[in-house]
Amino acid sequence: MFRKIQIPMGLFKRPTRTDEASSKLGFDLLQPESANVIEENGYNPRRAISKSGNGYLYSLEAAITPNDTRCMEMAKAHFLSYACSLQSSALPSIKEAQSIAKARLMEIASPEKADMLSYLVAHDTAGYGPISILLEDRHNIEEIEVNSPDSSIIVYSTRYGRCITNLRFTGEHSFRSAINRLICNTEKELGENTPIIDSQVADIRIHAQIRPYALSGAAASIRVGGRKEIDLNYILKSGTTAPDILAYLWIALESKQNIIISGAPASGKTTLLSALTAMMPSNEKIVTIEEDINEIRRESAYNMVGLYGSRYNSVGPKEQVINSLRMRPDRVIVGEMRGEEAKDLFMGANIGISFAATMHSSDGGMQILKKLMVKPMCVETKSLSMLDAAVYMRQIDINGRSISGIFEYRWLSRGEADEGVEIGDEDMVSITDIVSGAKPNRQLMRESKALSAYSRLRCISQKDAAKEFDRRSRLISECFECGKDIGKEIMKYCGW
């Protein structure tokens, strides 16, 4: 698929005098074979998306000759010598590094060639090698994947899905150096003592592993948040849901219903949960628990506490859920529920602390309850009765995420005539599909458990609660059509 042009290995760490002899780049640039280019952008050097068989290629359009490689090595040596002479402990920026490298390359190459070669040298020395090159196109890339230190890097394009690139590291050392430079301000380091790291830098999530856990020697997944605004307007604009569904969730959250958002990985669970925080009363004390990654944010919340619970340290999600219950919260939000923390979260719900959480699931309805009852979550059947509703999300294409279903759980006693599903010795549950196949059932919503809870909270009739549901649905629709910020309009409407 690619014809190799070698750009040998170099170092990413801050240079010392002994590093000047090692001036080879830490990544290879592979020249793509002839393919059908279907998209180009205006970066310099340009990026191109090409069709190749059943897949796509993402190429950095830069032709490198053996003479160019020697020129880059000379420019890198020049930059390393300059960096060693600096009094400051900080390296120059990528832009400054390119200027320094270009000054040297102008003596031995044409202006056009010097500009391209200095770009590569700058990212190798002052950036994160191929990672920082790809991050420049963050608007079009959702994820950067490294499957091994000597294979082509893969990107997940927002329009074309997975694409093979013509960039790759030259080995484990250059991969590790690039990752450590990327996370240098997080007080973490990928190395022998910590061969697995989870981290976040701005809106970039990094998960990386090296030997002995990564069988290929090194692997990483770098999720790029981009600069898009993740709010209720975005949820509607992207086709994830409809105004009626948001109005239902608004009433359910205001009524302190306990909700789980489930689905497969990358189905948009955490994105939806973060957007829904705009529907939670601003006077509530909310405690969020995430694993070293801060995705749940709410700008208008003045009483929101964020806690980290890493599975690689002594304080994990379970411990942080227990700690959160001691902080007098009105609501606990768990970014991803996977283990024993589920049991403690449901115990907290039994004492009146509502929750919202995400979890992985292959289906909705009963499948969610079954997964909660077995290992590693092991929620007791008696505690399960605190779950009011579950949202099931599905990825429908490369870009599309959709609320495929919403299920309300009504817990029955043996004496009730309603037919339900038995889940324990004395426990039965009736499940109502409020949303099925991404289509909301307005009549079921107007008669739902969430609206019943809202009518009790506000001391109004179920009929008046249904009218309020209709008003909120119209408000969301009108705000979206007029381009107003739905989150801010919700705060005005509720007097928050």
pLDDT in tens, 4-42: 444 433 333 444 443 444 578 889 888 866 568 888 877
Burial class (CB in 10 A: 0-12, 13-18, 19+), 111: exposed
pLDDT digits (tens, 9 = 90+) for 224-239: 875 456 789 999 998 9
- Where do we find the tokens 């990358």? 266
Per residue in 136-159, pLDDT (tens digit) is: 998 889 899 999 998 999 999 988
Residue numbers of the domain that contains 349:
232-494
Residue 198 or 120, more confident: 120
Do residues 361 and 275 share a domain?
Answer: yes
Give mean pLDDT, residues 195-218: 90
Cβ-contact 29, 60 below 8 angstroms: yes
Write down the pLDDT at residue 472.
97
Claim to verify: residue 351 and residue 242 sit in the same structural domain: yes
Tens of pLDDT, residue by residue over 339-348, are: 999 999 999 9
* 105-119, 160-174, 223-237, 324-338: range with lowest mean pLDDT: 223-237
Cα(2)–Cα(253) distance, integer angstroms = 52
More confident residue, 75 or 419: 75
Same domain, 263 and 383: yes
Whether residues 214 and 248 share a domain: the answer is no
Q: What is the token pair recorded at 374?
A: 């077995």
Q: Report CA dihedral (192, 195, 201, 207) to the nearest 10 degrees.
A: 160
Domain final residue, candidates 224, 244, 277: 224
Q: What is the reported pLDDT for 32?
A: 67
- CATH number at 48 reads 3.30.450.380
Q: Are residues 179 and 275 in the same domain?
A: no
Counting Cβ atoms within 10 Å, is residue 175 exposed (0-12), middle (13-18) or buried (19+)? buried
Please, what is the average pLDDT of the chain?
Answer: 87
Same domain, 305 and 325: yes
245 shares a domain with 207 = no
Domain boundary among 195, 224, 253: 224
In 183-296, where does DSSP find H-type helix?
232-237, 243-254, 269-276
pLDDT greater at residue 175 or residue 309: 175
| Signed CA dihedral, 137, 141, 142, 147: sign only | negative
pLDDT at res. 33: 62
291 plus 215 within the same structural domain? no
Tell me: the pLDDT tens digits for 256-276? Answer: 999 999 999 889 999 999 999
* pLDDT exceeds 80 at position 316: yes
| Structural domains counted in the chain | 2
pLDDT band for 3, please (50, 70, 90 cuts): very low
Task: Give residue 482's identity as a one-letter amino acid code.
Answer: C
Quick one: 195 and 249 in the same domain?
no
Question: Above 70 in pLDDT, residue 489?
Answer: yes
Q: Are residues 74 and 192 in the same domain?
A: yes
Residue 473 sits in a domain whose CATH number is 3.40.50.300
d(CA 479, CA 474): 9
| Residue 35 confidence (pLDDT) | 66
Looking at the fold, whether 13 and 108 belong to one and the same domain comes out as: yes
- Residue where one domain finishes, among candidates 198, 224, 250: 224
Residues 215 and 323 in one domain: no
Omega prior to 212 cis, within 30 of 0: yes
pLDDT in tens, 384-437: 999 999 999 998 877 788 999 999 999 886 666 556 777 766 678 899 999 998
